[in-house]
């Protein structure tokens, strides 16, 4: 499905935000999402032998788990299941550059929403300059949350913005981004806009990217007509391309490439301690009917640009549409809205 017209969710806010408790923080970047889809491909694909299953488990054992990626203190209560025994899941996908020994700002911030019935997966980019309320700090660009308080404060900011709890945090570093794509033999995407950067040319249309090319491709924003919005769209496209390649017959039928790819995945991930091997495998089985092409992607609704009192350029949030989004996320029910390409 394209980014142009999506079915996301709609319903009434049953129970509004109440509060609860949990944990805190860390530092890296994003390659792709939907751990459940990945594990479904690895463990639930038809005809995958025991050897492949062992490779997947070995990869899971290599995932870094950190105790400080989730916030402590008061939290939004989970959304109650509507017509399913399973609650919906919300995962924060983020990353940043480090500046020397200092923590950088989170230039990539996304929400992965998996519906309670495990039939729908949504990937939403959040512009790094979105002007939002940051707990304990007041209004600021959303990427400042990571700089000020690490992953924990970024997650808490997401919860305040969307009125739902975040269940997990997933990060992957820049080197991992390159290595995983190279282990897959490159990925193919449909490039929306021609550009050149750091010695690489990216013509419009279908292109195949190596790991290094993909990293340049998803980092570029200055030469794109839509700036950060165009970069976010490229990130979503590469995410889905990686998942599609993992699910392709060429990778699944090549034991060496399969093992190399999942090994690179495992050792380059950092997740919160709640995302255990058992939980990942369980989610994978629950998502076995979902393919990478089923992931619907879009961007947080925005209302143009503005300036702060100290003359910082900011992205204004469309409060009316985001309020609809909040209601839909809490209800985990169907809602229809039009999302324009590149927004």
| Average pLDDT taken over every residue of the chain | 76
Spatial distance between the Cα atoms of 236 and 342, rounded to a whole number of angstroms: 11
What is the residue-wise DSSP string for 84-123?
SSS--EEEEEEE---BTTB----SEEEEEEE-TTS--EEE
Q: Which residues pair with 20 in a beta bridge?
A: 75
Q: Is 79 helix (H, G, I), strand (E, B) or coil?
A: coil
Which residues are bridge partners to 197 per DSSP?
A: 200
Contact (CB, 8 A) for 26 and 92: no
Q: Which of 26-30, 34-38, 135-139, 230-234 is least confident?
A: 26-30
Structure tokens at 280: 């990942």
With cut-offs at 50, 70 and 90, classify the pLDDT of residue 284. confident
Closest CA to 70 of 142, 140, 20: 20
Closest CA to 302 of 284, 316, 313, 281: 316
Q: How far out from the chain centre does Cα 2 lie?
A: 17
| Cross-strand partners of 205 | 191
* DSSP bridge pairs for 201: 196
- pLDDT of 57 reads 74
For 190-200, the pLDDT digits (tens) are 999 999 999 99
Query: Residue 295: is its pLDDT beyond 90?
Result: no
Among 100-114, 268-282, 303-317, the range scoring the smallest mean pLDDT is 100-114
Contact 72, 87 (CB under 8 A): no
Distance of CA 51 to the CA centre of its chain: 29
Neighbours of 76 (CB within 10 A): 20
Q: At 83, is the secondary structure helix, strand, or coil?
A: coil
pTM for this predicted structure? 0.77
pLDDT top residue among 224 and 293? 224
Cα separations (Å) of 65 from 68, 103, 273, 278, 300? 9, 19, 5, 14, 28
């Amino acid at each position: 499905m394209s980014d142009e017209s999506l079915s996301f969710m709609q319903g009434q806010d049953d129970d509004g935000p109440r509060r609860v408790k949990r944990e805190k923080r860390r530092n890296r970047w994003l390659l792709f999402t939907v751990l459940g889809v990945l594990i479904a491909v690895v463990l639930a694909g038809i005809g995958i032998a025991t050897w492949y299953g062992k490779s997947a488990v070995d990869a899971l054992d290599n995932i870094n788990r950190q105790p400080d990626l989730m916030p402590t203190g008061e939290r939004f209560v989970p959304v109650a299941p509507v017509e399913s025994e399973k609650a919906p899941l919300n995962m924060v996908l983020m990353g940043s550059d480090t500046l020397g020994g200092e923590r950088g700002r989170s230039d990539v911030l996304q929400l992965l929403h998996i519906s309670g019935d495990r039939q729908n997966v949504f990937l939403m980019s959040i512009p790094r300059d979105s002007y939002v309320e940051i707990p304990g700090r007041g209004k600021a660009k959303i990427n400042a949350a990571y700089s000020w308080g690490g992953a924990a404060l970024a997650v808490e900011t997401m919860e305040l913005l969307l009125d739902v709890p975040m269940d997990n945090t997933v990060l992957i570093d820049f080197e991992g981004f390159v290595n995983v794509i190279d282990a897959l033999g490159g990925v193919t995407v449909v490039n929306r806009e021609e550009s050149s950067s750091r010695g690489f040319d990216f013509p419009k249309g279908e292109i195949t990217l190596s790991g290094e090319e993909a990293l340049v491709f998803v980092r570029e924003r200055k030469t794109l007509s839509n700036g950060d919005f165009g970069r976010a769209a490229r990130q979503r496209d590469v995410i889905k391309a990686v998942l599609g390649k993992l699910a392709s017959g060429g990778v699944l039928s090549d034991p060496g490439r399969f093992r190399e790819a999942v090994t690179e995945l495992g050792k380059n991930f950092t997740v919160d301690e709640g995302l255990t091997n058992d939980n990942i495998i369980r989610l994978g089985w629950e998502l076995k009917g979902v393919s990478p092409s089923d992931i619907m992607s879009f961007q947080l609704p925005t209302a143009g640009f503005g300036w702060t009192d100290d003359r910082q350029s900011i992205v204004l949030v469309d409060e009316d549409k985001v309020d609809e989004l909040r209601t839909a996320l809490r209800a985990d029910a169907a809602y229809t809205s039009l999302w324009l390409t590149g927004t």
